[in-house]
């Protein structure tokens, strides 16, 4: 997991956790503490058996999210239109906080990978920018 994110509108979030070895870890996220927005939705992505799967390939206009890899690993590629960064997501206690206008691509999932996302708003297709050229125009006019 990377220590610093250089892409605009993206940062690292560390979650508090209790290590009850050998009886497990308990990991916590709380609104206004580790989660800097009111949580309206969560979703998770699992069963990533296709080694060639590519997800994401979009940016959001307003939505804020924290992306966590709570099991296994994957690569998160971020792009703010100027700076690009590849982040190896392999630490369940460290999330990536994405604000608006960050192009994201997710790939190279381990087959045991589980991705948990907490989001600031409900699902709205109108908040997605799914075309990269449109994304570049959008950030210029923003
Ligand atoms: C993101 C990355 C990290 C819904 O109906 N409700 C939902 O809450 C979500 C998240 C998706 N959908 C539908 C929309 C599509 O027909 O589920 C289908 C798959 O969604 P999508 O192709 O956008 O999935 P990913 O993995 O490419 O992207 C998702 C989130 O959509 C996105 O906000 O940042 O995970």
- Establish if 5 belongs to a structural domain: no
Q: The CATH number of the domain where 55 resides is what? A: 2.60.120.10
Q: Mean pLDDT across the stretch 122-142?
A: 96
Q: Is residue 132 scored above 90 in pLDDT?
A: yes
Tokens 């994110």 label which residue? 5
Confirm whether 129 is domain-assigned: yes
Beta carbons within 10 angstroms of residue 65's beta carbon: 22
Residue 28 lies in a domain: yes
**What distance in Å separates the CA atoms of residue 48 and residue 80, rounded to the nearest whole number?**
26
User: For position 142, what pLDDT does the model report?
Assistant: 76
The answer to whether residue 123 is domain-embedded is: yes
Neighbours of 97 (CB within 10 A): 20
Ligand 1 pocket member 42 (CB < 6 A): no
Residue 27 sits in which domain range? 10-141
24 CA distance to ligand 1 centroid (A)? 30
Quote the pLDDT of residue 28.
Answer: 98
Q: What is the mean pLDDT of the chain?
A: 97
DSSP H helices in the chain: 132-141
- Name which of 54, 40, 48, 26 is nearest 127 in CA terms: 40
Domain count, the chain: 1
Q: Answer whether residue 3 is part of any domain.
A: no
Which ligand 1 atom lies nearest to the CA of residue 128?
33
Residue 49 CB–ligand 1 contact under 6 Å: no
Task: Name the pLDDT band for 63 (thresholds 50, 70, 90).
Answer: very high
So what's the pLDDT on residue 2? 82
- pLDDT score recorded for residue 74: 98
- Predicted confidence at residue 29, as pLDDT, reads 97
With respect to residue 4, please indicate whether it lies within any of the assigned structural domains: no
| Model pTM score | 0.97
pLDDT of residue 68 exceeding 80, the answer is yes
User: 84 lies in a domain?
Assistant: yes
What is the arithmetic mean of pLDDT over 75-99? 98
Give residue 3's pLDDT band: very low, low, confident or very high (50, 70, 90): confident
Q: What is the mean pLDDT of residues 118-135?
A: 98
pLDDT at 42: 98
């Amino acid at each position: 997991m990377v220590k610093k994110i250089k892409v605009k509108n993206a940062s690292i979030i560390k979650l508090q956790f209790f290590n009850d070895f050998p009886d497990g870890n308990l990991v916590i996220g709380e609104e206004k503490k580790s989660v800097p927005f009111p949580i309206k939705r969560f979703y998770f992505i699992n069963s990533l058996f296709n080694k060639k799967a590519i997800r994401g390939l979009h940016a959001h206009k307003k939505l804020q999210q924290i992306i966590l890899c709570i099991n296994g690993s994957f690569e998160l590629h971020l792009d703010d239109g100027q700076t690009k960064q590849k982040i190896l997501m392999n630490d369940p206690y460290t999330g990536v906080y994405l604000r608006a206008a960050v192009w994201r691509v997710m790939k190279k999932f381990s087959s045991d990978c589980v991705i948990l996302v907490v989001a600031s708003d409900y699902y709205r297709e109108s908040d997605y920018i799914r075309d990269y050229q449109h994304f570049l125009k959008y950030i210029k006019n923003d």
